[in-house]
Amino acid sequence: MRGVPVVVAYALRESLRRRVFLVVLVLTAGFVALYWLGANQAFATIDENEPPPAAVLAGVDDRTLTGATLFGLSMFGTLFLGAVLAAFLTLGVVRGDAERGLLQPLVVRPIGRGALLLGRFLAAAAVCALYVLVVFALNLWITWSAGNWRPDRIAEPAVQLAAAVAVIAALSLFGSIFLSSTANGIAVFMVFGAGLVAGLLGQIGEVLDSDTLARIAEVSAWALPFEALYQDGLNAITADESGFTEFALQLGPFGGAQSAGPYLWPWTAAYLIAVGGAALVAFARKDL
């Protein structure tokens, strides 16, 4: 595995030179600017207006409701941008690069296919995780400065978002062994969308008190653990809320928040190992 750092350095340099980072930075600047605008407007509105009497009567904290909803939105945006970055860094690593003739000169070197795959994953996961952490921190600061509100937990949801994009990078890398770049990109975003839909189904199931929907959502979230990590992260930002505020947050547009319990991290680690192992076996057997 002595070749892994060489491949990591190569992948990072490739990303820099291909201006992937530049494109992502421009998109992120737009996203963060919009979030800043939205957060300031939202908190200004609740500062200017009296809360509805019903909300006061029910004991709903409008600042917490606004802050948590906004921050949940920013977490969704951050996860989406992280998923885009993860997909673009990995979608053509095997079949795409082999079809273009870029892979063969690297694979015949003595480092081995396993080191190549691992190096590519580590580079993509590190870049995406760092990216997600930075955007998370920026949005946290914006929410605090605009509305004097911060989540109940900070490190936990941040690390969970970082792990979620690492899972997406692993799935995209696995797909790149079998699918062309375009097909893999489509597949990754369909899987990403499926995870989010499962989260929404769970939310609907909770409101309707439907065990079937809730079960489907739960199974889907564990089958695609980036969704379980996201839901657990969302849950963590209002972990200390209770009463009607908690209830109102669960009904909100980003109320897919669910605590995943103590098995989330072991399951995520096992999932990554399983996907990585399957990818290594498939890549080792692939004719290039």
Partner 1 sequence: MASSFTARALVKRYGSVTALDGVDVHVEDGELVGLLGPNGAGKSTLVKIGCGLVRASAGEALVCGARAGSREARSAMGYLAELFRFPGWATADELLTLHQRLAGSSGGAAERGELLDLVGLAEARRRRVEEMSKGMQQRLGIAQALVGAPRFLFLDEPTSALDPGGRRTVRRLLEELRDRGIAVLLNSHLLSEVELVCDRVAILSRGRIVAEGRPSELARPRGVEVDVDGGTRLFAGAVRDDAPRIVAELVAAGEQVYGIRVLSSTLEEIYLEAVGEEAG
Compute how many residues bind partner 1; rule: CB under 8 A: 22
The SS3 call for residue 95 is helix
**Contact status: 288 vs partner 1 (CB under 8 A):** yes
Candidate residues 18, 212, 215, 243; the one interacting with partner 1 per rule CB under 8 A: 18
Least distance (Å) between residue 2 CB and partner 1 = 8
Candidate residues 50, 53, 110, 266; the one interacting with partner 1 per rule CB under 8 A: 110
- For residue 137, how many other CB atoms are within 10 A of its CB? 12
**Contact status: 1 vs partner 1 (CB under 8 A):** no
C-beta closer to partner 1: residue 9 or 278: 9
Is residue 254 exposed (0-12), middle (13-18) or buried (19+ Cβ within 10 Å)? buried
The SS3 call for residue 209 is coil
**Contact status: 111 vs partner 1 (CB under 8 A):** yes
Report the distance separating Cα 222 and Cα 243, nearest Å: 28
C-beta closer to partner 1: residue 16 or 29: 16
Candidate residues 26, 33, 102, 219; the one interacting with partner 1 per rule CB under 8 A: 102
Torsion (CA) 166, 169, 174, 180 in degrees, nearest 10: 180
**Contact status: 23 vs partner 1 (CB under 8 A):** no
CA distances from 273 to 5, 25, 118, 277, 278 (A): 19, 31, 11, 6, 8
Candidate residues 26, 34, 56, 100; the one interacting with partner 1 per rule CB under 8 A: 100
**Contact status: 53 vs partner 1 (CB under 8 A):** no
Cβ contact 4:119 at 8 Å: yes
Cβ contact 214:198 at 8 Å: no
C-beta closer to partner 1: residue 58 or 102: 102
Cβ contact 122:210 at 8 Å: no
Candidate residues 20, 73, 106, 216; the one interacting with partner 1 per rule CB under 8 A: 106
**Contact status: 22 vs partner 1 (CB under 8 A):** no
Report the distance separating Cα 93 and Cα 102, nearest Å: 9
Report the distance separating Cα 14 and Cα 127, nearest Å: 12
**Contact status: 109 vs partner 1 (CB under 8 A):** yes
Cβ contact 28:135 at 8 Å: yes
Instruction: Look up tokens 């989260």; give the residue.
Output: 199
C-beta closer to partner 1: residue 139 or 176: 176
Least distance (Å) between residue 27 CB and partner 1 = 21
C-beta closer to partner 1: residue 48 or 287: 287
**Contact status: 112 vs partner 1 (CB under 8 A):** yes
Q: How far is CA 72 from the centre of its chain?
A: 12
**Contact status: 242 vs partner 1 (CB under 8 A):** no
C-beta closer to partner 1: residue 58 or 288: 288
96 CB-near residues (< 8 Å, 6+ apart): 176, 180, 181, 184
C-beta closer to partner 1: residue 20 or 154: 20
Q: Kindly list the residues in this chain that would bind partner 1 in the complex (CB under 8 A).
A: 2-3, 6, 10, 14, 17-18, 100-102, 104-112, 285, 287-288
